[in-house]
Amino acid sequence: MSPLPAPASLPDDLARHLRRLRPDAAIIILTGAGISRESGLHTFRDADGIWAQVRLEDVATPGAFARDPDKVQGFYNARRQALLDPAVQPNPAHHALARLEREWQGPVLLVTQNVDDLHDRAGSTDLIAMHGELMKARCTECGGLHPWTGDLSDTDTCPACGRVGYLRPHIVWFGEMPLFMDRIGDALEAMEPNDLFISIGTSGNVYPAAGFVAEARAAGAVTVEVNLEATDGAHLFHSGLYGPASQTVPALVDALLAIR
């Protein structure tokens, strides 16, 4: 059966590319901080972003943690508390992606660079948090991973091995290997022509995530950038959809779910 035309609200070139998709195409979605901005969380590189307030070299590297663990723990303690603010909730973009996973006929893999838990709270289940999770603590001695909602400090005890002073935020810092790279690499490698790769709310500045689009494109996938505005890497994508994620992502998901 031939696919229905995508809704008129999508740009013509995007609608044209979506018409290439089979209703059971594999979809890989990469998200970044922009998808959570309308939930009240800061991005990193926007004018009002986190890196405008604090130097990443001081808080997001293993060296920073070795030099000044209290400063780094304080940075993540504050972010953890911000995430627990009842006003911070999944927005329509997170919910739309959970709906896509539930209703799309093919596999939908969601890879997020975000350390917040908003995709999880929205109901996405095939979800990879490649830069870690703010609401978990990791023991550098035994490797134990523990749900963590309060502040972390060097007086805390690892619930698994009982050692004191070895818990750190479960965050991938610069120079550390992102998580689940084998699974992500396998999924990208398994993409076939006319599968779909969507990048949402990320500036495309941080590798290896910034390189996923090239891998998907090399496999023949349709590639779409969804962002507030075109990024420096927009030319790497077949098409773009620009505006606030809370509006663009539900519109894109509606268009995809209309494909028959």
* Residues found near ligand BJW in the complex (CB under 6 A): 32-34, 37-38, 43-46, 49, 60, 113, 115, 131, 171-172, 174-178, 201-203, 205-208, 227-229, 231, 244-245
Minimal CB distance residue for ligand BJW = 34
If the CB atoms of residues 131 and 168 are measured against ligand BJW, the closer one turns out to be 131
Amino acid at 136: K
239-242 and 222-227: which strand pairing? parallel
Active site residue 131: yes
Shortest distance, position 36 Cβ to ligand BJW, whole Å: 9
DSSP H/E element including 110: strand 108-112
Phi-psi region of 194 (alpha: psi -120 to 50; beta: other; left: phi over 0): left
Residue 85 tokens, joined: 């603010």
Query: Whole-number minimum distance, CB 31 to ligand BJW, in Å?
Result: 8
Residue closer to ligand BJW by CB (options 25, 252) is 252
Question: Nearest-5° angle of CA 172, CA 178, CA 180?
Answer: 125
| Least distance (Å) between residue 5 CB and ligand BJW | 25
d(CA 117, CA 133): 7
Catalytic residue among 131, 146, 235, 238: 131
Identify which of residues 194 and 246 has a Cβ nearer to ligand BJW in the complex.
246
- Structure-token pair, residue 196: 């779909």
Question: Is residue 164 within 8 Å of 156, Cβ to Cβ?
Answer: yes
Q: Which residues contact 80 (CB under 8 A, 6 or more apart)?
A: 134, 135, 148, 149, 150, 151, 152
- Do β-strands 132-139 and 145-147 pair in parallel, antiparallel, or remain unpaired? antiparallel
Q: Provide the minimum distance between the beta carbon of 44 and ligand BJW in the complex, in angstroms, as a whole number.
A: 3
CB of 158 to ligand BJW, least distance (A): 21
Cβ-based nearer residue to ligand BJW, 33 or 96 = 33
Query: CB 194 → ligand BJW: shortest distance, Å?
Result: 25
Question: What is the total residue count of the chain?
Answer: 260
Q: Per the structure block, which two tokens stand in for 226?
A: 């969804």
Nearer to ligand BJW, 115 or 118 (CB): 115
If the CB atoms of residues 25 and 44 are measured against ligand BJW, the closer one turns out to be: 44
Number of CB atoms found within 10 A of residue 34's CB: 25
Single-letter code of the amino acid located at 8: A
Which residues are annotated as catalytic?
A: 131
